[in-house]
Amino acid sequence: MSKASAYREQSIEELEAKESELLKQMFEMKCQLSLEKKIDKPHLLREHRRERARILTILSEKKVS
């Protein structure tokens, strides 16, 4: 998990790539959860969701400025 200050230093393209990577990981975890009814590290789903929210917030700040 990264801090918001680390994301502010990255470019918009890097942030969008990281966001799409997180979406892919979250999708895979949700599929595994629905099929197997359990995942190895359930806390990662919450962390990924929060990290994605940080990235989207910073992306919107950068696009407005």
**pLDDT tens-digit series, residues 20-50:** 999 999 999 999 999 998 888 889 999 999 9
E-strand stretches of the chain: none
Say yes or no to pLDDT of 54 above 70: yes
What is the number of residues in the chain? Answer: 65
Domain ranges of the chain: 4-64
SS3 content of the chain, % helix, strand, coil (to 5): 80, 0, 20
- The angle, 0 to 180 degrees and rounded to 10, between the axes of the packed helices 12-36 and 43-64 is 150
Q: List all residues 6 or more positions away from 10 whose beta carbon is below 8 Å from its beta carbon.
A: 18
Class of domain 4-64: mainly alpha
The residue behind tokens 């806390």 is 43
Q: With bands split at pLDDT 50, 70 and 90, how would you rate the model's confidence at 60? A: very high
Higher pLDDT, 60 or 63: 60
